[in-house]
């Protein structure tokens, strides 16, 4: 059995979860259709290192995330 969280621990957890939500909404997963390179960026119109602009871009918030809370 886990011990209850102290209020300061809960606050730190909330701060980190908020930072992750902000990052997820600003970060973009990119895949170059030309060379296959993959990376994460915050650029709205990324260019691959190979020079290609044929980029598939998906906002990171669209990816499913594992549940951060333990159900037990």
pLDDT over 60 at 72, yes or no? no
Q: What is the pLDDT of residues 20-66, one digit of tens each?
A: 777 777 888 999 999 999 999 988 889 999 999 999 998 877 766 65
**What residue segments make up the domains of the chain, in order of their start?**
28-63
CA gap 27, 33 in Å, rounded: 19
Q: What pLDDT was estimated at residue 4?
A: 65
Q: What pLDDT was estimated at residue 71?
A: 43
Helix, strand or coil, per DSSP, at residue 71 = coil
């Amino acid at each position: 059995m886990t011990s209850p969280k102290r209020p300061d621990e809960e606050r730190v957890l909330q701060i980190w979860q908020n930072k992750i939500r902000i990052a997820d909404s600003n970060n973009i997963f990119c895949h170059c259709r030309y060379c296959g390179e993959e990376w994460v960026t915050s650029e709205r119109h990324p260019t691959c290192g190979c020079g290609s602009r044929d980029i598939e871009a998906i906002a990171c918030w669209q990816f499913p995330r594992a549940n951060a809370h333990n159900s037990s």
